[in-house]
Amino acid sequence: MRGSQIQRPLFADCPGYTVSPYIAQTRLTLPFIRRKKFCREAGANAKPCVFLFSDSQIKEESYVEDINNLLNSGEVPNLFPYDERAAVMETCRVAAKKAGVTAPEGGPLEDPTQLWQYFIKTCRANLHVVLCFSPIGEAFRERLRQFPSLVNCCTIDW
């Protein structure tokens, strides 16, 4: 078994965490991170999730770019179209009200900007990204140069 295949059951045992069901496929057109349901689980529903991704699953460098953006800012730009974003914010409005989160002015979160910031904050708190990259070879060094969040926003365990 490869290392990432062994790690998957290990992370599945994390109490209360959902582990990403991402399996590398040769005909995969979009990375798992683009599955909006998974981001909704972590951000809008406040459910702890683990996203496990290895370098052998990289079919396009845009996969790593999405992970870089997620690590750096807590979101993948343009992941949700406007209509889906409105649905996510409505779910966040309900969740924030249940959690007792209020706007800086003291009332409930109503402003779309505040709701989206709540979504990103909750997503960052609940989505844990585990990257399994081999440090051997030029590809690893090149990715670190192109995507600095892989170093700046991660805890590296050699």
Tokens coding 114: 């505040």
d(CA 31, CA 12): 20
Among candidate residues 109, 53, 112, the one with its CA nearest the CA of residue 85:
112
Give the per-residue pLDDT at 92.
92
| 23 pLDDT higher than 80 | no
Tokens 């590296």 map to which residue? Answer: 156
33-86, pLDDT tens digit by residue?
Answer: 446 777 888 888 888 888 777 888 788 888 888 889 888 988 888 888 888 899
Number of structural domains found in the chain: 1
Q: Report the chain's mean pLDDT, rounded to a whole number.
A: 80
pLDDT confidence of residue 25: 44
For 3-12, the pLDDT digits (tens) are 555 555 565 5
Range of the domain at 75: 3-23+33-137
Taking the model in full, what pTM does it have? 0.79
User: Is residue 154 included in any domain, yes or no?
Assistant: no
Residue 18's alpha-carbon distances to 15, 22, 55, 109, in angstroms, are: 9, 12, 21, 27
* CATH value at residue 87: 3.40.50.300
- Indicate whether 119 belongs to any domain: yes
